[in-house]
Structure 1
Amino acid sequence: MEIERTLHMVGGDGKDSYATNSRLSMKAIMETKPVLCKAIEGVFASLSSPAPAKIVIADLGCSSGPNTLLVVSGVIGMISTSGYPKMMELQFFLNDLPGNDFNYVFRSLQQLADRKEGLLEPPYYIAGLPGSFYTRLFPCQSVHLFHSSYALMWRSKVPEELSSGVHLNKGNIYIGKSTPSHVVKLFQKKFKEDFSLFLTLRQEELVSGGRMVLTFLGRKSSQMLAHGDVGTMWELLAQALQILVQKGHVNEEDLTTFNLPYYAPSVDEVTELIEESGLFDVEHTGVFESSWDPHDDSKSNGDAVADCARSADSIANCSIRAVIKPLITDHFGESIVDELFQVYVPLVAKHLEKGRAMYPVIVVSLKGRLQKLDTPAGSPYSVLFL
């Protein structure tokens, strides 16, 4: 599985697209808006005098739906009300893997230009930046604010011991109840490697006093056996794939060799790695919960679901299919997609009979510490297209 090619949300604006089915991440962006606003205030407070002529903001894992523009317009609005220096300009970089539908993003930019805010806005410029955020993306000390939402639970690749077949996670596509403990440790190890590298790379790219606001799916408990609803979501998809194996529509070996490049960390894992890095001060850490169903705005776990079948259909087709379809298609082929989600829906509906299912969502706001100019890590260059 070539992650940089296959890991992307469904492009375009069709019924299966992420642009049409991105309400969950939209709710997360709205929920974390106060944290982002505070980070922007911190950036301005730390600016040297005289203030720089340009502020650089990067959205990592921007994807291709309306939420990309929601972040950009939100930042512009916050800065417009902050008393910014009159000669200041804003440079936005929208980053995602090369398989992302950047064309749709650029076609959507006219919506931003058509806004009528009634505020005097600073001049702003927007560019796409394809590449993995597990590599260097920017010159040293060039970015004032990093934002990332619903992206950092994705890993740079599946643990090598799994992808090579040295260890097997039979019957699972992520961490399930039957996942061997040594396989669990492989997922944990990969997260630690990736997140530590991410922190190192971003610290090199941030100006002194720059900020990062990171939001991603996680879990509340540090116990892996209590991995919770984030793990259950993928367990149910694995069960649907097993049913297709039993029907003879999916090869069992194909299922055995399919694992997600994914890990939902606990809050403790995240904060421990940040502290161990010694690169950032933690300005905010929080956890909130969001329903699996993007159209359910309740924040209560376990409450009865009024219509399990309808909610399950919304979850399968809006929350999961728009996200996972490219990975499924690449590994199993296009032909199984419709049947897979037809099987998945009743499994989710049965799970919802126990009560509303929720995602724990972690949000952290970090301030970069004083930097040392060392040799840059990772890739020495990035390709920018305008």
Structure 2
Amino acid sequence: MANGKPVSTLLQSSYPMMGGDGPHSYIRNSTYQKAAIESVKTSAKKAILAKLDLKTSIFNLSSYRIADFGCSVGPNTFDVIENIIETIKLKHQQDETNRNNHENLEFHVFFNDQSDNDFNTLFKTLPRYHIDREVFACGVPGSFFGRVFPRNSLHIGHTSYSIHWLSEAPEDVCNQNSQAWKKNIQCTNLVEEVTEAYKKQFKKDMGAFIEARAQELVPGGLMIILGLCLPDGVQMIRTWKGVVHEMIRDCLVDMAKSGITSVEKVESFNLPVYFPQFSELKEVIEQNGCFTIEIMEEVKHPMEDMLLSNDFITSSYRAIFHGVIEEHFGGGVIDELFDRFAKKLNKDPVDFFKCQKDMQYFILLKRKIY
């Protein structure tokens, strides 16, 4: 007990990506995310070069602290960190007052994710930073919805494809007495009560994320955010990702009818995922007041116009949703669920031409200097 409540109710849920390096692992099934990171590599470099102010006393240094929030198991996180480090070096080379420091720069890199993230695989595949001893890496377990670093300790933070995950499914959709009870396994934007419950949870979680970063970043520090949202007015169910979520739900319902799992289990399953509309995302950031929004723009995903194969979709979603499904149903349903999902996709493929498009965004925030 803690403060009169069971300890379990005080802990945030954790649904790590599929670890290891097997055929269903996130390492082997995260090319969609990798393509997104590659698509903003140049934008991120330009943004850091333009907005990192070496002339302020707090950045008159030879050692930088960089954190990737929601790093998962790699290799995408390594690409992000490498780009940030190389850009900082270039910035020092270009800056006359710091030109002599660029050869002696050191970087302390923090890889953050939930405590049950597969950090073993992450560090087994870590690039050999130790060779020249300019980069010192460590893992930092903990939920990014709260602080995981001391105040004023980070110079650059980054997160990609992570903040659409909620700390937990909204309370109302888990309450049988609520109007939002068991409308769906996700927020589809079709049922008002469900939409409001998810929106409320997102605002709470995103607000906590931004507030934690506001405390951790030094004045003038930069926060880079890459992710997916919905254009204003677009409903999740109308996108191909929404269609996929519905198909997974249908498979679970069929499994309950077959006795593979229980109806109660399916009815109580809610994905802790919310893709905000663009204006909602901007509103939460602005409400914090500790950052200036230097860049907030839509960027094109390289695979946006591709007809993704059924195998690609099945493998990607298995790697992403493995943790949350196993936590709720147990590991015994995973193979059956995704076998059924693959067959359903083959029978009734996603019609990408009929689906509305979601939106990939690139955001650069700068911690205000008071």
Q: In which range does the TM-score fall when normalised by the shorter chain?
A: 0.7 to 0.9
Distance 2:122 2:78 in 1: 8
Q: Contact 1:98 / 1:130 at 8 angstroms: preserved in 2?
A: yes
Give the alignment's TM-score, normalised by structure 1: 0.83
Q: Contact 1:58 / 1:94 at 8 angstroms: preserved in 2?
A: yes
Letter in structure 2 aligned against 1:256: E
**For residue 105 of structure 1, what is the aligned residue in structure 2?**
122
Letter in structure 2 aligned against 1:340: L
Deviation at 1:230, TM superposition (A): 3.4
Distance 2:213 2:55 in 1: 18
Distance 2:205 2:80 in 1: 24
Give the alignment's TM-score, normalised by structure 2: 0.86
**For residue 347 of structure 1, what is the aligned residue in structure 2?**
344
Deviation at 1:181, TM superposition (A): 1.4
- 1:331 and 2:328 equivalent? yes
- Provide, for residues 240-295 of structure 1, a one-character-per-residue CA deviation record: whole Å limited to 9, x for no partner: 111212222221111111111111011111112222222211111122354xxxxx
Distance 1:48 1:197 in 2: 28
Residue among 137, 158, 182 paired with 1:170: 182
Q: 1:113 to 1:159 in 2, by over 3 A?
A: same
SS at match of 1:28: helix
**For residue 40 of structure 2, what is the aligned residue in structure 1?**
32
Distance 2:158 2:220 in 1: 15
Residue among 16, 33, 36 paired with 2:24: 16
Letter in structure 2 aligned against 1:154: W
Count matched residues.
350
Letter in structure 2 aligned against 1:328: I
- Provide, for residues 57-97 of structure 1, a one-character-per-residue CA deviation record: whole Å limited to 9, x for no partner: 11000000211211122222222333162333211111000
Q: 1:344 to 1:47 in 2, by over 3 A?
A: farther
Give ranges in structure 1 of 5+ residues lacking alignment: 115-120, 291-296, 372-386
Q: Contact 1:69 / 1:112 at 8 angstroms: preserved in 2?
A: no
**For residue 79 of structure 2, what is the aligned residue in structure 1?**
70
Give ranges in structure 2 of 5+ residues lacking alignment: 1-7, 94-98
Deviation at 1:214, TM superposition (A): 0.5
Distance 1:176 1:276 in 2: 25
Deviation at 1:163, TM superposition (A): 3.2
Q: 1:267 to 1:329 in 2, by over 3 A?
A: same
User: How do residues 77-156 of structure 1 correspond to structure 2 at under 5 angstroms?
Assistant: 77-82=86-91, 83=93, 85-86=101-102, 87-112=104-129, 123-156=134-167
Q: 1:110 to 1:216 in 2, by over 3 A?
A: closer
User: How do residues 177-256 of structure 1 correspond to structure 2 at under 5 angstroms?
Assistant: 180-224=191-235, 228-256=239-267
Q: 1:166 to 1:94 in 2, by over 3 A?
A: farther
Q: Contact 1:287 / 1:362 at 8 angstroms: preserved in 2?
A: yes
Deviation at 1:233, TM superposition (A): 2.6
Deviation at 1:231, TM superposition (A): 2.5
Distance 1:150 1:351 in 2: 25
Deviation at 1:137, TM superposition (A): 1.3
Deviation at 1:234, TM superposition (A): 1.3
- Provide, for residues 276-333 of structure 1, a one-character-per-residue CA deviation record: whole Å limited to 9, x for no partner: 222211111122354xxxxxx54337xxx4xx7xx1121111x200010121112112
Q: 1:166 to 1:90 in 2, by over 3 A?
A: farther
Deviation at 1:25, TM superposition (A): 1.1
